[in-house]
């Protein structure tokens, strides 16, 4: 039973003078607890697929089923609630809130997920995730004082502090050097193993693929042969 | 709201600048409103101190009190409907004091129910004449009057058309202005019957028949209204500029599931904090000004009207920031994701 399944997904971007079919009927099943990596040439539609699967934009046709519920049938408010409670996001840039400390970024996410955790529980969770990404020492720092790698680690902590079911990551290592990239990949694998978080990520860096359980190759809006 | 406050602390300068502008504008608004109120008192305290009710004047006088005359029949008709009606007349004139100086006054003759009753040959005058060195028991004269008017007492703040009021007896008034008809009737409270041939005025409408009164109040109130509009636009523009800078952040916050309502509340909280601090300062300072302003400066700002204005400012801030907040609701998560950021 997949946690997320994509069925006949199509996406066409239309502007005044042209139409571009970016996704041409995608079928995909994501297994719970696994790391699935989307890879393929730039412009092949990886980000589009990931963001639609994550409820960040609408598809033109097809369905997305998440935990037996059709994301594609929900209204904006319902999708927003799913994103807040069940999903976590890591983007190419960390996109931290500039005026909140590391710890406050995580608190914001717990508030957004409307968790009914006690004060102590919240503290514990923050401590444990910041320990894991090795940023506990920076808990009171503002994003402006952190390096790129540190910011991305905070972004990952923020993405999972509310214990989401799924983590969506679009080229989380693209802005990092090779050594930092490997650290982030290890971190994602640890999260997936220790916290049973299902990960759907986009990457086009060969070396990061070894951390994936399933690799999905994309080409011109269709899924190519999968390799494991 | 913690996030709203954190942002203001982190970006102090811009919020302090907005706060100071709001402070200055609201202070200016309060000063001008205080001046308008003070001037209206200085102009027409005789009428301003009368409780809310209805004034009657002859319809043919077309709002000019000195052309109005209420005949026996009119008076009887009002009196029958409302027994506790008050009648009075006003004429602008002058009084000469013993030192030979002339003082412009507003003669008021009344049936004694609304204004102090005066004996023939005496007068009760506004205490501003005391500053012109007129003393109690001094005999004042008028060209149209054979005898003298002896100053009985002084009363506080009784002015009409910026002139001190001199209450006189009907016989003296009659001798000066050759009329035994009262010009104006006043009925307190809300139920005042219509009387054929007479026009009814509310207190405000009646005060506005004083030519200088409407001119002063209109121009000052215009300024106040413009200041309100300016501050509303200021809020809108300020939050517009701040929001434009935060579009990417709003997009990301929406992407991770933050509700649009939460983002609005954050903006409203900032608006409320800035406005409240600015208003506390400007109300405080304007009340202080009211205390230390010289008495020759007509400035009057009650705590009540200051808080009314504060309420208007808060509503305006709310509307102004909400208008520019519409952009927040338009932000799509996808807009921000592919852009760079912190
Ligand atoms: N919002 C959009 N409007 C129009 N075209 C878009 C939009 N987003 C993506 N595209 C187009 O869709 C194609 C696939 O983009 P994307 O999914 O970002 O590819 P990838 O992530 O694999 O590089 C590209 O040709 C891109 O120009
Ligand atoms: Mg991409």
Model confidence pLDDT, tens digit, residues A140-150: 999 999 998 89
C-beta of residue A216 within 8 angstroms of C-beta of residue A39: yes
Across all residues in chain B, what is the average pLDDT?
90
pTM: predicted TM-score of the whole model, two decimal places: 0.80
pLDDT of residue A225: 61
**Each residue's pLDDT tens digit, A119-131:** 999 999 999 999 9
pLDDT of residue A228: 42
Residues sharing a CB contact under 8 Å with residue B138, sequence separation 6 or more, in sequence order: B97, B98, B150, B151
Residues sharing a CB contact under 8 Å with residue B151, sequence separation 6 or more, in sequence order: B122, B123, B124, B125, B134, B135, B136, B137, B138, B139, B140
C-beta of residue B138 within 8 angstroms of C-beta of residue B130: no
C-beta of residue B98 within 8 angstroms of C-beta of residue B213: no
Is the pLDDT at A222 greater than 90? The verdict is yes
Does A59 sit in the ligand 1 pocket, CB within 6 Å? no
Options 3.40.1710.10, 3.90.1150.10, 3.90.76.10, 3.40.50.300; CATH for A32-47+82-223 is: 3.40.50.300
Is the pLDDT at B341 greater than 60? The verdict is no
**Each residue's pLDDT tens digit, B62-98:** 888 888 999 888 889 888 888 889 999 999 999 999 9
List the domain boundaries for chain B: 2-43+214-337, 53-201
Residues sharing a CB contact under 8 Å with residue B18, sequence separation 6 or more, in sequence order: B234, B238, B274
Judged by DSSP in three states, A196 sits in coil
Across all residues in chain A, what is the average pLDDT?
93
pLDDT band at B342 (very low <50, low <70, confident <90, very high): very low
Helices A148-160 and A178-195: angle between axes, nearest 10 degrees: 10
Does A44 sit in the ligand 1 pocket, CB within 6 Å? yes
How far A112 CA lies from chain B's nearest CA (Å)? 6
DSSP per-residue letters across B70-137: B-HHHHHHHHHH-TT-EEEEEEEEEEE-TTS-EEEEEEEEE-SSSS----TTEEEEETHHHHTT--TT
List the domain boundaries for chain A: 32-47+82-223
H/E stretch holding B64 reads none
Of A5-9, A178-182, A195-199, the one with minimum mean pLDDT is A178-182
User: Average of pLDDT values for A46-65?
Assistant: 95
A99 and B258: CB-CB below 8 Å?
no
Does A201 sit in the ligand 1 pocket, CB within 6 Å? no
Kindly list the distances between the CA atom of residue B49 and the CA atoms of A136, B188, B218, B286, B306, in Å, as whole numbers in the listed order. 69, 12, 20, 23, 20
User: Average of pLDDT values for B1-20?
Assistant: 91
CA of B73 to the centre of ligand 1 (A): 90
User: Average of pLDDT values for A104-114?
Assistant: 96
How far, in whole angstroms, is CA B215 from its chain's centroid?
13
pLDDT of residue A176: 81
Candidate from A13, A171, A216 with most ligand 1 atoms within 8 A of CB, to mutate: A13
- In 3D space, the residue among B333, B249, B340, B341 whose CA is nearest the CA of residue A55 turns out to be B333
User: Average of pLDDT values for B269-294?
Assistant: 91
Q: Who wins on pLDDT, B341 or B61?
A: B61
Question: Which ligand 1 atom minimizes the distance to the CA of A51?
Answer: 17
DSSP per-residue letters across B280-297: HHHHHHHHHHHHHS-TTS
Task: Give, in degrees to the nearest 5, the angle at Cα B97 between B95 and B103.
Answer: 45
Helices vs strands, H then E, count in chain A:
6, 10
Q: Who wins on pLDDT, B3 or A175?
A: B3
C-beta of residue A154 within 8 angstroms of C-beta of residue A146: yes
B254 and A93: CB-CB below 8 Å?
no
Per DSSP, B19 falls in state: H
Tokens of B78: 């009002």
CA of B52 to the centre of ligand 2 (A): 73
**Residue at token pair 């909400």:** B322
Could you give the dihedral angle defined by the CA atoms of residues B160, B164, B165 and B168, in that order, rounded to the nearest 10 degrees?
-150
- B273 backbone φψ class: left, alpha, beta (φ>0; ψ -120 to 50): alpha
- Tell me how far apart the alpha carbons of residues A209 and A203 are, in angstroms, rounded to a whole number: 8
Is the pLDDT at A103 greater than 90? The verdict is yes
Is the pLDDT at A227 greater than 70? The verdict is no
B336 and A95: CB-CB below 8 Å?
yes
pLDDT of residue B192: 82
User: Average of pLDDT values for B219-242?
Assistant: 89
Per DSSP, A40 falls in state: E
- Partner-chain residue, chosen from B332, B334, B342, that has the shortest CB–CB distance to A94: B342
Residues sharing a CB contact under 8 Å with residue A78, sequence separation 6 or more, in sequence order: none
**Each residue's pLDDT tens digit, B325-340:** 888 999 988 888 866 5
In angstroms, the first-to-last Cα distance of chain A is: 19
């Amino acid at each position: 039973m997949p946690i997320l399944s994509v069925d006949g997904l199509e996406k066409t971007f239309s502007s005044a003078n042209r139409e571009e079919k970016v996704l041409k009927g995608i079928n995909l099943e994501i297994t719970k607890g696994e790391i699935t990596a989307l890879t393929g040439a730039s412009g092949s539609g990886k980000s589009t697929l990931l963001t639609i699967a994550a409820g960040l934009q609408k598809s033109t046709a097809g369905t997305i089923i998440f935990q037996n519920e059709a994301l594609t049938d929900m209204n904006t408010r319902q999708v927003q609630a799913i994103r807040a409670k069940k999903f976590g996001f890591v983007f190419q840039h960390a996109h931290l809130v500039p005026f909140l400390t590391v710890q406050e970024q995580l608190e914001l996410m717990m508030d957004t997920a409307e968790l009914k955790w006690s004060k102590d529980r919240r503290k514990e969770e923050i401590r444990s995730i910041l320990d894991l990404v090795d940023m506990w020492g920076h808990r009171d720092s503002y994003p402006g004082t952190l390096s790129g790698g540190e910011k991305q680690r905070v972004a990952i902590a923020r993405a999972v502090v509310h214990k989401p079911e799924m983590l969506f990551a679009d080229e989380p290592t693209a802005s990092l050097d090779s050594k930092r990239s490997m650290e982030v990949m290890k971190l994602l694998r640890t999260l997936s193993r220790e916290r049973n978080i299902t990960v759907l990520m986009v990457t086009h860096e060969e070396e990061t693929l070894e951390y994936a359980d399933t690799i999905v190759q994309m080409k011109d809006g269709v899924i190519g042969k999968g390799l494991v | 709201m913690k996030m709203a406050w954190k942002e203001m602390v982190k970006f102090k300068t811009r919020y302090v600048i907005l706060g100071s502008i709001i402070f200055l504008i609201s202070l200016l608004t309060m000063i001008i409103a205080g001046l308008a109120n003070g001037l209206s008192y200085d102009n027409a305290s005789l009428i301003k101190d009368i409780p809310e009710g209805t004034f009657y004047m002859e319809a043919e006088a077309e709002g000019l009190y000195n052309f109005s005359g209420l005949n026996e029949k009119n008076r009887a008709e009002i009196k029958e409907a409302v027994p506790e009606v008050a009648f009075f007349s006003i004429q602008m004139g002058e009084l000469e004091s013993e030192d030979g100086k002339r003082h412009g006054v507003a003669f008021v003759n009344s049936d004694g129910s609304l204004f102090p009753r005066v004996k023939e040959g005496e007068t009760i005058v506004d205490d501003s004449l005391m500053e012109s060195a007129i003393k109690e028991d001094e005999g004042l004269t008028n060209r149209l009057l054979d005898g003298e008017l002896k100053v009985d007492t002084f009363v506080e703040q009784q002015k009409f058309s910026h002139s001190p009021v001199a209450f006189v007896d009907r016989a003296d008034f009659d001798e000066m202005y050759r009329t035994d008809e009262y010009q104006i009737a006043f009925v307190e409270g809300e139920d005042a019957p219509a009387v054929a041939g007479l026009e009814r005025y509310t207190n405000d409408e009646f005060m506005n028949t004083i030519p200088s009164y409407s001119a002063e109040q209109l121009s000052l109130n215009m300024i106040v209204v413009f200041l309100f509009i300016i501050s509303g636009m200021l809020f809108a523009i300020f939050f517009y500029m701040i929001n434009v800078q935060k579009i990417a952040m709003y997009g990301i916050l929406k992407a991770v599931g933050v509700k649009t309502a939460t983002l609005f509340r954050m903006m409203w909280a900032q608006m409320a904090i800035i406005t409240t601090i600015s208003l506390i300062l400007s109300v405080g300072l304007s009340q202080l000004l009211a205390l230390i302003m010289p008495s020759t400066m007509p400035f009057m700002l009650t705590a009540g009207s200051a808080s009314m204005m504060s309420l208007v400012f808060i509503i305006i801030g709310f509307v102004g920031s909400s208008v520019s907040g519409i952009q927040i609701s338009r932000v799509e998560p996808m807009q921000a994701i592919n852009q760079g950021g912190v």
